[in-house]
Amino acid sequence: MEIYQPIFTTFVLVEEKLIQILEKSKHNEKENAAFLKRLKKQSKQNIDQSFHQEHDAVFDRIDCLDCGNCCSTTSPIFTDQDTKRLSKLFRVKPVQFIAEYLRTDLDGDRVLKSTPCPFLMDDKKCFVYDVRPQACSEYPHTNRKNMYQILDLTQKNSLVCPAVADIVEHLREIAPKKTFR
């Protein structure tokens, strides 16, 4: 089961620089996919350390409020706990919340009926931020443990999220100087 499911991979309205980062990642899609495949042979610790360092560095440079591309083009998976929290916020029953906003995909996961996410506001803030789905709070997952388990997902996310794109591009560029090749 994927943690975050792309619906469309075309981005909308992100800042110029972020668009360029994503374009570069799309252009280098094959190279990045091959690099991430090779990376799987490295130690778990090495992979985690590299991603976590890059994650911290990239989110010092990128402000999600300049972007919003994940919320504009993809859907998180909504767990039962997520729908309970959100339905409470809207003061409706979970079944009503589900009927209004969600559908079940081919994998049996609950996802948004459509994108952009209905809770994404014009200023790119999240209307339900404090009770947003867990998948949203953990996206783009580049600071989680055991990154080796989600390198395929990370490759997909590098086509949606400029932060992930930047991380993967940079790791691939510095690879010859590090232990992974």
Residues at the site binding ligand SF4, with contacts judged by CB under 6 A? 62, 64, 67-71, 76, 117, 119-120, 126, 128, 132-133, 136, 139-140, 160-163
Handedness of CA 116, 143, 39, 175 (dihedral sign): positive
DSSP 107: T
Could you tell me the smallest distance in angstroms from the CB atom of residue 18 to ligand SF4? 7
Structure tokens that stand for 75 in this block? 């859907």
Could you tell me the smallest distance in angstroms from the CB atom of residue 131 to ligand SF4? 9
List for the chain the helix, strand, coil content (%; round to 5).
55, 10, 35
User: For residues 81 and 4, what is the distance between their CA atoms, to the nearest angstrom?
Assistant: 16
User: Nearer to ligand SF4 by C-beta: 55 or 180?
Assistant: 55
User: Nearer to ligand SF4 by C-beta: 68 or 168?
Assistant: 68
Could you tell me the smallest distance in angstroms from the CB atom of residue 179 to ligand SF4? 27
User: Nearer to ligand SF4 by C-beta: 141 or 172?
Assistant: 141
One-letter identity of residue 34: A
Could you tell me the smallest distance in angstroms from the CB atom of residue 149 to ligand SF4? 19
User: For residues 151 and 140, what is the distance between their CA atoms, to the nearest angstrom?
Assistant: 12
User: Nearer to ligand SF4 by C-beta: 70 or 168?
Assistant: 70
